[in-house]
Structure 1
């Protein structure tokens, strides 16, 4: 059984800071329509009413109209759709598509993958076993991103390096080598590191939301010797 580094979970987000220190921080909180809990925007998905009365996900929080906020996890979105909470919140007739949670999942996955491409162009992302190993050893890697279909032997070796890092990186493997290669302009990208910094912090918020809709590590990894 391969002992992977633990993936990031919503419980690890740095957003839970206790009492607000500024009005700006307070203004970035919204109420989840499912539980009524007030939480930071980054832990929620914004929805708006489309022109045809359909509920539309607004992951970038830029679409016009009154926002309806739901916790960033599959169960919450499905509950909001099933109980007609979008219409109740908007006080208007709204229809939530049956595959709304799947829509959010796909959109989040694309945002996370596109974020890797942006990080690559900004110089915040490095790939290749040796380069990633160096970043891990020096404690510069905030994230270790492994191809979901990479060879177990190579994965065991890079994980061994990561465990000895002075800064334990978070880990995800939601993309295949081909998907990573297309995003990063290479072929069959297996090992990637997201260097610590503001870019990694912004990307982490997207990954945290994605983790509410799908596991960040393949279940099959747990069965490896």
Structure 2
């Protein structure tokens, strides 16, 4: 995996074209939108809502461009009501989706939180993904390293990680291989593109980031 969390070696799967950038890419890198019968635009993160899908890259700039330039109406070939805060809504929905997936991984025994538990998993090579809160102590985060051939997620807040683990706040967490880990990484990557202030190295407090990683 790349250090931003994107799987590099996995089968990419079906592709779709972004209406804002014109780029064709795998579905897991885009957001699907649908238009309701009343003309309201709705994000469809689970890709299950009925209707013709309209695809936009999981990038705040692309979403803002599509909303601001009337591209949703053009793609749907009908009037479309687009919320003023569309990008913010998508960000909140993606964050909740990532939190819920991590919570499911925790319940299945495939995720741990807390510095000592995460450190133990890393030392035993049981961790596949290191997760650290973006608002955690930079000094504390540098004491843990991304697992070799693993991945790093560093753009969730301590409150969001806390929700995933049933605590008030969480700074350090880790995911094991298998289970929901691949889905967590992919959804976190989509969130990263939409969340304000993230970049290819955003939030990476841990040391020893790996550049080219195996797929989960």
Pairwise same-fold verdict (TM > 0.5): yes
Aligned to 2:167: 186
Question: Offset of 1:199 from its aligned partner?
Answer: 1.4
State whether structure 2 residue 8 is matched by structure 1 residue 8: no
Mark the runs of 5 or more structure 1 residues left unpaired by the alignment: 1-5, 19-24
Gaps of at least 5 residues in structure 2 are 206-216
The structure-2 alpha-carbon separation of the partners of 1:117 and 1:46, relative to structure 1 and needing over 3 Å to count, comes to same
Residues 74, 101 of structure 1: 8 Å contact kept: yes
TM-score if structure 1 supplies the norm length? 0.78
2:209 corresponds to: none
Check if 1:212 corresponds to 2:193: yes
Q: Secondary structure at the match of 1:141?
A: coil
Compare CA radii of gyration and give the structure with the larger one: 1
* In 2: Cα distance, 1:63 partner to 1:98 partner: 22
Q: Give the secondary-structure state (helix, strand or coil) at the position aligned to 2:193.
A: coil
State the shift of 1:185 in Å. 2.0
CA contact (8 A) 2:110 2:175 kept: yes
The alpha-carbon deviation at position 187 of structure 1 amounts to 4.6
* Structure 1 position 72 matched with structure 2 position 58: yes
Deviation for aligned residue 1:124: 0.9
> Higher helix fraction: Structure 1 or Structure 2?
1
Measured on the aligned residues, the alpha-carbon RMSD in Å equals 2.4
Asked if residue 172 in structure 1 is aligned to residue 146 in structure 2, the reply is no
2:4, 2:153 within 8 Å by CA — same for their partners in 1? yes
CA distance in 2, matches of 1:13, 1:96: 32
- TM-score, normalised with respect to structure 2: 0.81
Deviation string 1:117-172 (CA, Å, 9 cap, x unpaired) is 11101111012222211211233322211234434443232x2xx16x54444132
Name the count of aligned residue pairs: 200
Q: Return the alpha-carbon distance in structure 2 between the equivalents of residues 37 and 148 of structure 1.
A: 30
Equivalent in the alignment of 1:22: none
Structure 2 CA distance for partners of 1:55 and 1:218, relative to 1, 3 Å: same
Map 1:76-95; keep pairs closer than 5 Å: 76-95=62-81
In structure 2, relative to structure 1, the CA distance for the partners of 1:179 and 1:205 (3 Å cut) is closer
